Each structure stands twice: as C-alpha cells, then as structure tokens.
Structure 1
Amino acid sequence: MATTLLKIEELINGADMLRNLTVPELVEEAIQNGEGVLTKDGALSVSTGAFTGRSPKDKFVVQDEVSNNLVDWGKVNQPIAEEKFSALLEKVLNHLEKKDKLYYLEAAAGADEHYTLPVRAITEYAWHSLFAKQLFLREWPTKGAFDPFTVIYAPSYKADPAVDGTNSETFILVSFAKRTILIGGTEYGGEIKKSIFSVMNFLLPEQNVLSMHCSANVNDANETALFFGLSGTGKTTLSADLERHLIGDDEHGWSPDGIFNIEGGCYAKTINLSRENEPQIYDAIRFGSLIENVVLNDDRTPDYKNISLTENTRAAYPIEFIDNAMLPSRAGHPNTIVFLTADAYGVLPPISKLTKEQAMYHFLSGYTSKLAGTERGVTEPQATFSTCFGSPFLPLAPERYADMLGQLIEKHDVDVYLVNTGWTGGAYGEGSRMKLAYTRAMVNAAINGQLRDVETMKHDIFNVEIPVAIEGVPSTVLNPRDTWNDSTRYDMEAKALAMKFKENFKRFTKASESIIAAGPLVI
C-alpha cells in the first residue's frame, strides 16, 4: 500500500495534472472537454449520465484497524477488505495515469478552524473539480485539525464485482486508515460531497462535536435555527430566508462554542424552481454555479419544470452567492430545531411541538419519504425511516449521535418542532403537497418564538401537540384529519403509519421508557 500512496503523490505532481485551477479556468476546461455548456445566465450545465442520484448500495467502508471497532457495520456501512480496496485503488490509478490531463484541488471541510479537515480532490472531469471547489471551503487550511483526506474520482472506470468485491460496476469506497475515498462508475457529483460528510461524521464525535445533516440560519440577534431532514424535505429552501443569515444548507457541526458549517457551498434541488418562491436560490444560479440534469430551452434558459432526465435536478454554488449568507459560517448555540419530513401518507400534522423525549423519538426514527430521483431506483416517494435524518452518512452507531443531540437540547433549552412538508388532504397521488407559503409561515412562527406559549390540541394517534392557530395558515390545515374528505380513512392511514413508527423503533433496544412512551399511542 505504501507504493500505491506514493503513486498518488506522483500522480498529483505529474505533468498531466492541472492543479488548483480558478473557477473561470475550470469552466473553460469543462466546455473545451465537452462536459457541459453555459446557460443564458452563465451557469455551467452538465449531465450526470445514467446516474442522477447517489448509489448507496455501492458504498463500502474499508474494514481496518481504525474502522473495525468503531463503525456500525451493516447495510449502510458495508465492509470491504483492505486487500480489495488496495487492488482496486491500484487499478484506478493505472487507469488515470493514461489520461491526457487530470484535475487536482485543495479545499477543506469545517468552517471552525478547531475542527477543519483538509480535502484533496483528484478528478477525471473538470466539472467535478469545480463542484468540489464550490461545495467545500475554498482555502487550504494552514493548520487543519485533522490530517488530509484524498478523494479520487474516476467516473469512466468500472469495477468488476466478481473480482473487486463490489456490488456493481459503481463503487464508493472509504478508507479511514489510508484517509482515501475512491469513487468510480458514476458521474453523480453528490458522491463527492456526501463521502466527505461521512468522514466528518466519523471524526467529529471523537472531538465532542455533533455532526448533523441539517441546514442552519441565524438572525441579527444571534438566534440560530437548525433544520433537519433528508434530501427533498426543504432544508435548503426553508433555510434560505431573506430575513435571516444562511449559515449553511446541509451539513453542520455543533461544538461547545456553537454551530459551524461543514461546507462552503450549497447543493439545492431545482425542481419547479422559480424566482417568486425561492428568489435567493434562483438568483444564485449564475456564472460559477453548476446545474445538474436540468433541461435547457433553445435559448439556454433552464426549464426547471422539465423532469425528463430526473426529478433530482440540482444546483451547486458557493454560499456567498446567497446575498445574506453568514461569513464566516459560524453562529451561537441554536434556539430552535425543526425536524422536516415529507410524509407521503398525508397524515402527519403540518407542525407539532415536541418535548425533549418526543424530539429524541423522532430524531431516532427519522421518518420521511424518499423522493423520486435522489437515489437509484426510486421513481416515486417511498416511506422510510432514516435515523438522525441522515442514516446513509453515519459511520457510527445512531445512538451515539442521538445521545449527543439529547444532551445538547437539554443543556441549551432548545425548542423542537416536527414539520411535515409532504402531503395533505390525502396520500401521494390523491392529496396535494403542502403549500410552501403555509410551511414558511409555520416555520417562521416557530423560530421567532411565537409558538412557545400558544394554545395547542393533542393528536390522539401521534401523541404530539398541534398549535390551534398560526397567522397566515388556515386553521383547517393545522389538523390533518380535517383536510381529508373521509375522516374514517384518515384514521386508518394514520394508525397504519403509527404502527410503522412503533415497529421501526423496536430496534432501539437501549432507548429509555420515557423516549419510547413519547411515540405514537396506537395499540
């Protein structure tokens, strides 16, 4: 393996390696290589080919002396032997050596200098280097808290599952001992960002820092709000608030000093994007930004309603493209936490107040619906439970993160809410998606402290408190049962989802009785 690591350094320093190119240079390279075209507003438009979402079944963690006793092995963290990793890495390096040119980037993750990870990216495509440049912090740290991790991305190399020990031709391999991430067989840019996030989820808890799959913003009074949720639940949209400063849209650490962004950019879904509904995101898509799998009209204006390639259309841009971004991306301890879920059954309340125990129950449950396109094979919303609202990216046992969050909620007296950005008036295909204007009104009321002492009603099945009235939201919307034409059918569907919650929670055998009792009440 020492020889292989030396070959990486030789590759980086080779004559065919283009090192730390500027944004204009990377855009020029991508266009010259035929990787993409410029839109009317100057963003680089690219296609990710056959893979328009992550490939979680193709992700492996190398089982070695560092990972063996710490990683929570299973379907999420699939083990692969060191020998298999080393052999495949050697093949990929030999493959890359034959390329006329490659791209090398030095960047970082972690906006708090006490917890910064230096990141090195070797990519076959110029646009992947641009993606990394805009999504990570763009300055190589003079003194990182951790030794660097190297990402090697070779989309044109396909693995041989029978020989390489992978599940398909696609592979995303993380070696904590060799501090190397190996990606191939897919062009989807999100694999770069999520691999580094997984690394930070491994490193930060060991430093007494909670790593979180959430967006965050803060007002002028330094009152911080966190938004947890899986892809497509509204983290990016709801945290981009003209009245508040964006700390980050997807990944954060919660240290003894407060909140810090892990990234340096944003990765927003663009399906049905409009300036009217999401002006900050819309205006951020300009020169220096990337859009993935967005169909362009004849005049090269993006057609954000066109989902012929995928529903998982994306835009990647640096956080400073948001006018009121918080720079540097740090703030104090949060006052409010919002759990976002896109309920495909249309039975969860649009907003609920949670006790600490209920917060821990729903954090461990991590209920939402996978939305079409975010993963291979997902063509319509599917109910799923993703622990900590980020299970695919958690190398450690979920209880480790949940315990840390519970302690922080109690220590800093944080208000917690569960918000359903999914369906209302019926399930997916029958009901309608919750209006963004209503969700914004509810979230704003929560993070501005307006819901702390309001009158509430108890939901008999989900065992949560629902505010009776919120300014800007029809009262009939707040109680989901009232939005269904058939209340009897609503009760049946709500009880069915409640049973899914209870069945899923059986795996948390170490949860306290008070946390278990905070879940749904259906027998």
Structure 2
Amino acid sequence: MSMVHFEAALGRLLQGDRVHKDLSVPRLIEKGLQRGEGVLTSTGSFRATTGKYTGRSPKDKYIVDEVSTKDKIHWGTVNKTISSEVFEHLYEKVLHYLSERDEIFVRHGFAGADKNYRLPIRIVNEFAWHNLFVRQLFIRPTETELTSLLPEFTIVSAPGFKANPEIDGTNSEAFIIVSFEKKTVLIGGTEYAGEMKKSIFSIMNYLLPEKNVLSMHCSANVGHEGDVALFFGLSGTGKTTLSADPYRSLIGDDEHAWSPNGVFNIEGGCYAKCIQLSEEKEPEIYRAIRFGSVLENVVLDEITREPDYEANDYTENTRVAYPLESIPSSIEPSIAGHPNTIVFLTADAFGVLPPISKLSPEQAMYHFLSGYTSKLAGTERGITSPQATFSTCFGAPFLPLPAARYAEMLGDKMLEHNTDVYLVNTGWSGGPYGVGQRMKLSYTRAMIRAALQGDLNAAETIVDPIFGLQIPLHCPGVPDEVLQPKETWQDADAYDQKAMELAMKFKENFRKFSDMPKPIAEGGPTI
C-alpha cells in the first residue's frame, strides 16, 4: 500500500459530522457520560474501567519490518517484528471497523516541550474518554498552532476491534503496532489508555537520538537556584511521587529528553499510580484529581462516588491522568537547564540494597545499563507480586535502538556537565517482600533532599562489601540504622544470603554487555 493510498484511506474516515475534532474537556466528559464510557466521581474526575487489560501488554507490541528501519531497530523479545502485509491488512480492517461507529474522536497535539525537537501528532479514538486522556497527557497546542498543525505521526486506537490471531497474525486479540515508514501506531483489542502514551514515547526514543538528543524514562524537577534533578526508574519506583516536590518546580513525571540546550518534557501531563494514594503522603497528586482528570480502574463507593484508593478490585495498577498545570509547582514551558543530579530509583524486593548510595561514573554506567528494580503488581498483565527484573536504561520496553546508544549518550552528558549520580532504593527494608516493610516515603524524601542540596557530598561513608556502593553513615532526617540495610534485618545470615543472591543476578544479567569497557563492567557487585 503506497503512502498516498494509506493517508487517503484515513482521510476518508475522518470526514463527516460523526467525527469530533479537538473537543473541549467539558464536551469530552459529556460525550463519555452520554456513551456510558464512565462516571463522574465525587472529586469531579472521570472514572473509566478498562476490562481485562489493566496494564501494558508487551507480548502484543510490534514494530513493522521495513527497509528504512530494518538495520536500526534492536530486534528481540522487546522489539518484535511484524510484516508490512499483516500491518496493512489490520489497518484496513480497523478503519472499516471505525467507519461503522456512530462517533469518532480526533485530537491534535505535540510530543516535546522544546519547539526545536517537538513532534506534531494526531490521535484517532473510538472512545471519548481515551481522547480526554490524550488531551491531558500530550502537549496541547494553542489556537494559532492548531490551525497550522500538520501531524507527523498518527495513533489509530480501536479498543473494540479484536484481532483473530489465526487470521491476523497477532499474538492475541490485542495489538500495538508501530510503523515508522507509515508514521502510524495501530492499537486494537485493549482499552488500557497507557498504550497510547508509551507508543509515542517509543517513537521519540527512535527519533531523538538521531538529533543528538537523549530520550529518557525519568521524571524531572528544578530547584529555586535552577539546579535540575532527574529521577530514573520503572513504573512503581516513585518517579511521579518524588518529582512532585512542593519545594521544587516540576518539569514532568515520566518522559524527558536531554538536548544540547538542557532538559525538556516530552509530555504535557502526568500519569500517576493511585494505589494507596493519600493527601497526607502525596498532597499535590491527590489534589490534582479533579474535574478534567481521568481515573483508570479506581474503585468508587456506589452511593457517594468517592474514590477508594486502597482498593485493588480491578488491579493494583490504578491510575490518574491530569495536565501538568494541575500541579501548582509545575513550570511552563516544561524546559530547564542541564541536570546537576541524577537519581536511579529501584524498588528492591530482596530488601538488600541501601536506601541511598553515591555512584562513581563507572558505577553509574553499570547501574544504568542494568536498570534493576522489581516489577510491581499490575504494571503488566500477569504480574501479581513484585518480581526482580533488569530493564536496560530503566526503560527497555520502550527502546527501539540498541541500549549502548542511549548509555553512551548519557555517559558523555554526565561527564560533560559533571553530574552527580545516586542510587536510591524505594523498595523493602528489614527483609524481602512479604517479610520486610516498604521504605518510608518520608525517609526517601529526606535522603533525596540531602543529595540535591549537596549535604551528602562530604558525608562519611562505608563501602558495602558485596555491592561496592558508597553508603553514607549519616543523613539528616533518617535514622542511622536505616541507611545500613543489614542492620535492619533480624537475621544477618539471611541478609547475606539474599544479598549474594541478588549480586549473582546482577552478574548474570551484565554478561550481555561483554563489550563494555572493564571499568564499567567492574562497577557492579564485587563478588
């Protein structure tokens, strides 16, 4: 199918009165309610449920095998190939399916706050609430920009269309397919809104490095003196929570890029986890859940419609989407200077990594390539309890290019700008998952505040005998014994056993980076 024919087919679909383009928030909410897609909550937010797909479905994600990208993509279990024929056949079927819907919702926006690097996008939705979601998550054009916006990539999302694997060549009824040549993302079979957000992130992870811009799975904020901090980590490690600091200005909570000019947000909104959310612990996120925000799979009281953030009836992966301006401390535009501090966040289910440690440049590269954390329940289909995992660059599911490309760019930028790097464990202390307790948020905030203010630069440290990490002996606002993980365990031998077990996992995982320089390879456990 030629590009002209491809675009013409979509153009025909987007004609007529049933196509609603760039509706306002109130009108989208009205449509969602009229169509029975969700309900209003006591806070004024719109709540929707997503059926059996309550998280990303990585086994159903593909990249089209095309001539222009074939030799650039890092093919494997993450970037799975699918043929152009299968993609185009599904594309025609999805367009036919959407042509029979009573209404279609179209949204235009941008990915990338820096106008020098932003990507104009268009999203075609079957659901009004999905269109509300992308309105809040991506960067919203001004009225003037909207009149001249020409999309470079288009998402076509039809959750109600379910593929037949035997006929359509997919893994299941769900599919998320990216075609870089056709500049299209095709989504079907899943109502989980996060697939749209992460698809655009994957595209930016392909496009930006070609422009000497490092794309990063991290949150970011900036202090009153202009000092910038990045927080790397997978879902559930605390990126959103820790970047929403009332004493610092929020740049963004999940996706950023580091250009020759500094850091900019890729998105225009936040997609925060809601499980166990409270106003006391996370006031800015809690108060952002109001009219215009979108709650996903959050349980409501049947009478009062009050959200129950403790309940996990649908999933552990309950979410809320809201625009950046809902956070009082956010900055506009979401652009800042070069990072002074980088924090690698890990939710260690083994309970053996120190709550904070400062990394040498070699250790920083080692842990960036390792990307260790524990996948938390609900973030992917089939994950019901924390599982130790290594996600390269803290974002392997979204990286189309080889990991070394991103790692080399980060290493060069850290050295150029003399950036401090810390490893912070937001996971378990006093024992592994099921025995120990999750690290207190107040302690983690105190440790990060000390790191950002430079209080730990001259702190006395001790070297962890297994992981080789420099652990501070004292930190303002944190009991000394908490800083030394072994001291929080009742059974020291049990700690040593678990620590060795995790250290061996690090070693085994890093074997795939055998081409790394020796100093980086030696930046991990010392066993």
- TM superposition score category, shorter chain reference: over 0.9
Once residues 234 and 113 of structure 1 are traced to their aligned partners in structure 2, the CA distance between those partners, rounded to angstroms, is: 29
CA distance in 2, matches of 1:136, 1:117: 11
Q: Does 1:5 align with 2:22?
A: no
Deviations 1:21-79 (CA, angstroms, capped at 9, x unpaired):
00100000000000111111100011011111000000000010222011000000000
Once residues 147 and 84 of structure 2 are traced to their aligned partners in structure 1, the CA distance between those partners, rounded to angstroms, is 29
TM-aligned CA distance change 1:4 to 1:240, over 3 Å:
same
- 1:147-197 Cα deviation digits (max 9, x unpaired): 610000000101111222211110000000000000000000000000000
Q: Which residue of structure 1 aligns with residue 522 of structure 2? A: 517
> Is the contact made by 2:122 and 2:151 (CA closer than 8 Å) also made in structure 1?
no
SS at structure 1 position matched to 2:116 = helix
Match for residue 280 of structure 1? 284
Indicate which of 291, 298, 304 corresponds to 1:294. Answer: 298
1:114 match: secondary structure = coil
* Cα deviation, residue 146, structure 1: 9.5
Give the secondary structure class of the aligned counterpart of 1:96. helix
CA contact (8 A) 2:177 2:186 kept: yes
Please tell me whether residue 21 in structure 1 is matched to residue 23 in structure 2: yes
Moved over 6 A (4+): 142-146
The aligned residue for residue 214 of structure 2 is 210
- Residues of 2 paired with 1:70 and 1:145: CA distance? 29
- Look up the match of 1:401: 406
Alpha-carbon distance, 1:14 to partner: 2.9
Counterpart code for 1:248: G
Tell me the equivalent position of 1:122. Answer: 124
Deviation at 1:324, TM superposition (A): 1.1
Query: How many equivalent residue pairs?
Result: 522
- Contact 2:344 / 2:421 at 8 angstroms: preserved in 1? yes
The Cα of 1:145 is off from its aligned counterpart by: 11
TM-aligned CA deviation for residue 144 of structure 1: 10
C-alpha distance in 1 between matches for 2:331 and 2:246: 12
Query: Can you give the 5+ residue segments of structure 2 that lack an aligned partner in the other structure?
Result: none
**Contact 1:116–1:144 (8 Å) recurs in 2:** no
* 1:82-101 matched pairs, under 5 angstroms: 82-101=84-103
1:229 is matched with 233
**SS where residue 93 of structure 2 aligns?**
helix
8 Å contact 1:348–1:420 — kept in the other structure?
Answer: yes
Q: Give the AA of the match of 1:295.
A: V
Deviation (angstroms), 1:13: 2.6
**Pair 1:103-2:105 in alignment:** yes
Q: Residue 129 of structure 2: SS of its match in structure 1? A: helix
Separation in 1 of the partners of 2:471 and 2:123?
47
Secondary structure of 2:132's aligned partner: helix
Residues 289, 316 of structure 1: 8 Å contact kept: yes
Q: Distance in 1 between matches of 2:399 and 2:168?
A: 24
Matches within 5 A, 1:92-491: 92-139=94-141, 141=145, 148-297=152-301, 298-491=303-496
CA distance in 1, matches of 2:414, 2:199: 27
Q: CA deviation at 1:11?
A: 1.2
Counterpart residue type for residue 503 of structure 2: A
AA of the residue aligned to 1:105: R
Q: For residues 7 and 347 of structure 1, do their structure 2 counterparts lie closer, same or farther at Cα, with a shift above 3 Å needed?
A: same
SS at match of 1:376: coil
What does the per-residue CA deviation read over 1:111-134, in whole Å, with 9 as the maximum and x for residues that have no partner? 000001011000000000000000
Deviation at 1:16, TM superposition (A): 1.7
Question: Over the residues paired in the alignment, what is the CA RMSD in angstroms?
Answer: 1.2
CA deviation map 1:461-513 (0-9, x unaligned): 00110010001101000010001011011011101100000000000122110
Please say if residues 117 and 144 of structure 1, whose CA atoms lie closer than 8 Å, have aligned partners that are also in contact. no
SS in 2 for 1:419: strand
Counterpart for residue 39 of structure 1: 41
Query: CA 1:90–1:145 in structure 2 vs 1: closer, same or farther (change >3 Å)?
Result: closer
Deviation at 1:142, TM superposition (A): 7.0
SS in 2 for 1:233: coil
- Structure 1 distance, partners of 2:169, 2:362, is 42
The reply to whether residue 64 of structure 1 matches residue 66 of structure 2 is yes
Asked if the contact 2:215/2:255 (under 8 Å) is kept, the reply is yes
Q: Alignment identity in percent?
A: 59
How many angstroms apart in 2 are the aligned matches of 1:232 and 1:299? Answer: 29
Q: What TM-score do you get using the length of structure 2 for normalisation?
A: 0.98
Please give the alpha-carbon distance, in whole angstroms, between the structure 1 residues aligned to 2:151 and 2:507: 42
Contiguous gaps of at least 5 residues in structure 1: none
Contact in 2 for aligned 1:219/1:243 (Cα 8 Å): yes
Whether the 8 Å CA contact 2:152–2:183 is kept in 1: the answer is yes
Q: Distance in 2 between matches of 1:416 and 1:101?
A: 50
Give 2:456's aligned amino acid.
L
Q: 1:261 to 1:456 in 2, by over 3 A?
A: same
**Secondary structure, aligned partner of 1:507:** helix
Structure 1 range deviating more: 225-234 or 15-24: 15-24
Q: Secondary structure in 1 aligned to 2:98?
A: helix
What per-residue deviation string (whole Å, max 9, x for no partner) do you get for residues 273-314 of structure 1? 111000000000000100100001121110000011111000
Between 1:1-10 and 1:333-342, the stretch displaced more is 1-10
